[in-house]
Amino acid sequence: MAQAVRFHQTGGPEVLALEHVSVGEPGPGEVRLRHHAVGCNFADTYFRTGYYPVQPPCGIGVEAAGEVVAVGEGVTNVSPGDRVSYNGGPLGAYSTERVMPAAPLLKLPDSVSYETAAASTMRGLTAVYWMMKTDPRLKAGDTILLHAAAGGVGLLAVQVAKLLGLHVIGTVSSEEKAASARAMGCDDIIFYRREDVAARVKELTGGEGVQTVFDSVGADTFEGSLKSLRRRGVLVGCGTASGPFPPIDALRLAMQGSVYFTRPAFVDYFADPVERAEMAGFWFEHLAAGRIRVEIGARYGLDQCIQAHRDLEAGKTIGSSVFVLED
């Protein structure tokens, strides 16, 4: 019988439970999937805690890779037996099998394993839209500041940024994480726990600051991020690991050098099928060609979901985390 991780109330990792579930046949526009690997993302904790609105009881997870078992009426983008991955769609990726809409599915190149796909589809496409879409003025030769540069998205974002010709300053918490970030191409490292981030950024950029800051930490780093921007730079608030960003004072943005703040949501950058195809094509082309490396720092079984979330929230992981399912 199929299994799925579900929660019946919001809260800490302990609300997660692995349950037996029945999986029906796909309806029109739907597919039935057998998962081989499932992505474990920090964003999943936002649903579990209720930071992102949910209606328990419900499943959790938005990213996985596996095989199409059956297709419903009208499905033309995939066929039974296809190897696919996805991100987005209804919650429920933490499962052995599921029925879901066919639209989000992406066919995998033969050279990309299920584990690699589950570890990188959401994170990789996130890194791509951050670097390619959130700051229209960002161009080759510019310098960026990337917080959490050794995280699951961070290590991929470093590589995407280098492919686009950007100079990357990354923040990390330890020498071990610094080594991982440098190995992926990070040009300069700032140890945020013992250095003044904004002061170091100004030192590294000759007093100018960076064009774009990608801040996935939130409350704890907001002030330093804002002060790290050059005139008319862009602060991309792309995560809130330490808590929400504070209310934005419009005059403060002007006084800081007419800078911009944006809080992007993944769904809005992939709503246009043309843009979605462009970014997915970029990602899988470079991944299949070996120009992007995916570091899987932790592997779990679905029955270890509580520990997986504890590790995520404690910042213990380097690179991506995945649930590996037995065939």
pLDDT, mean of residues 53-62: 96
- Best CATH choice for the domain 135-263 from the list 3.40.50.720, 3.40.1010.10, 1.10.10.10, 3.40.50.2300: 3.40.50.720
What is the tens place of the pLDDT at every residue in 205-244? 999 999 999 999 999 999 999 999 999 999 999 988 899 9
Domain borders along the chain are 2-122+268-324, 135-263
Dist CA 137 CA 132 (whole Å)? 10
Bond into 57 cis (ω within 30): yes
DSSP designation for 28: T
Q: How many CB atoms lie within 10 A of CB 307?
A: 14
Three-state secondary structure call for residue 324: strand
Return phi, psi of residue 241, to 5°: -60, -30
pLDDT digit string (tens) for 108-123?
999 999 999 999 999 9
Q: How confident is the model at residue 88 (pLDDT cuts 50, 70, 90)?
A: confident
Q: Which DSSP string corresponds to 65-116?
A: EEEEEEE-TT--S--TT-EEEEE-SSS--SBSEEEEESTT-EEPPTTS-HHH
pTM (2 decimals)? 0.85
Q: Which one, of 203, 263, 254, lies nearest residue 236 by Cα? A: 263
Average pLDDT over residues 23-50: 96
- Please report the pLDDT score of residue 327 as a whole number: 62
pLDDT digits (tens, 9 = 90+) for 172-190: 999 999 999 999 999 999 9
Q: What is the mean pLDDT of residues 11-15?
A: 98
Residue 26 — very low, low, confident or very high, per pLDDT cuts 50/70/90? very high
Half-sphere exposure of 75 (CA within 13 A, CB side): 23
- Classified by CATH at the fold level, domain 2-122+268-324 comes out as Quinone Oxidoreductase; Chain A, domain 1 (3.90.180)
Short-list 47, 77, 61, CA closest to 325: 61
| 304 DSSP assignment | G
pLDDT exceeds 90 at position 317: no
Please write the tens of the pLDDT for every residue from 189-203.
999 999 999 999 999
- pLDDT exceeds 80 at position 78: yes
Cα–Cα distance for residue pair 229/248, rounded to 1 Å: 16
Q: Are 169 and 187 in contact (CB under 8 A)?
A: yes
The per-residue pLDDT for 285 is 95
**Residues 63, 65, 70, 71, CA torsion sign:** positive
**Does the pLDDT at position 7 exceed 70?**
yes
The Cα 141–Cα 170 span in angstroms is 16
Indicate the average pLDDT of the chain. 96
Beta strand residue intervals within the chain, DSSP E = 2-7, 16-21, 30-40, 58-59, 63-71, 83-87, 97-101, 106-107, 143-146, 167-172, 188-191, 210-215, 229-237, 260-262, 296-300, 320-324
